[in-house]
Amino acid sequence: MPEPSDRPHASIRPRCARCQRPPGHCLCHLLPHIASRTQVLVVQHPDEQRHALNTARLLVNGLVQAELLVAEKLPETWCARLADPHWRTELLFPGPDAQLVVAASEDQRPRRLVLLDGTWRKARKLLYLNPVLQGLAQVTLPAGLSSRYRLRKAPMAESLSTIEAGMHALQIIEPGTNFSALLRPFDALIEGQIQAMGRAVYQRNHAGPRPC
Ligand SMILES: [Zn+2]
């Protein structure tokens, strides 16, 4: 049975069912098919699913073991999964109690990484509305990782897109696998956006002051 998030939503323009891009802009041929040992679950705030840079969907579609849920309040089935003690489930989200995400550990349980996709405000709302998310161990990425692109207003200089955050976290958890191909469709997406808005506008608005 399809997940609720996989139902095609009403749209004026036709879109690729998989990557949600309009015809002629499909990115599916760039999607890798990476088999991570870690299961990745992305909870996407409903406000985020129509955003042009839906990087959560690209992350999930580039991985064999990943799922996307579009919801503000998690359904019972997901609450039960996330609370399952047979899994080591971690929430990638910064906070005072968040530990750095690590690779090896004494814990032999299969790993599950949960990401929240949305603006900071919406991600915090997801956390607030879902006690099961609050109950998860929080992990965070090491400092110093900065987004390759700045197309969205982010309150923190180091804010990464969901696909970048997921890629970096998986790379730390599973250093033996190369996850960099996950960013291939993201790179193409950004390049397309830059071309669409015009390079001059991009330079002025997103690339910062140019050296004299
Ligand atoms: Zn597509």
pLDDT tens per residue, the chain (212 residues)?
444 444 444 456 788 888 888 888 889 999 999 999 999 999 999 998 777 678 999 999 999 999 999 999 999 999 999 999 999 999 999 988 999 999 977 888 999 999 999 988 999 999 999 999 999 999 999 988 877 765 554 444 457 889 999 999 999 999 999 999 999 999 888 888 778 777 777 777 776 555 55
Query: Around ion ligand 1, which residues have CB less than 5 A away?
Result: 16, 18-19, 26, 28
Question: For residue 188, which of 35, 73, 79, 55 has the smallest C-alpha distance?
Answer: 55
pLDDT of residue 205: 72
Ligand 1: centre distance to CA 203 (Å): 28
Burial of 180 (0-12, 13-18, 19+ CB in 10 A): exposed
Ligand 1: centre distance to CA 108 (Å): 36
In this structure, what are the phi and psi dihedrals at residue 95, rounded to the nearest 5 degrees? 175, 165
pTM above threshold 0.85: no
Residue 172, CA distances (Å) to 64, 147, 166, 176, 190 in order: 18, 17, 10, 9, 24
pLDDT of residue 151: 53
Ligand 1: centre distance to CA 53 (Å): 13
Ligand 1: centre distance to CA 91 (Å): 28
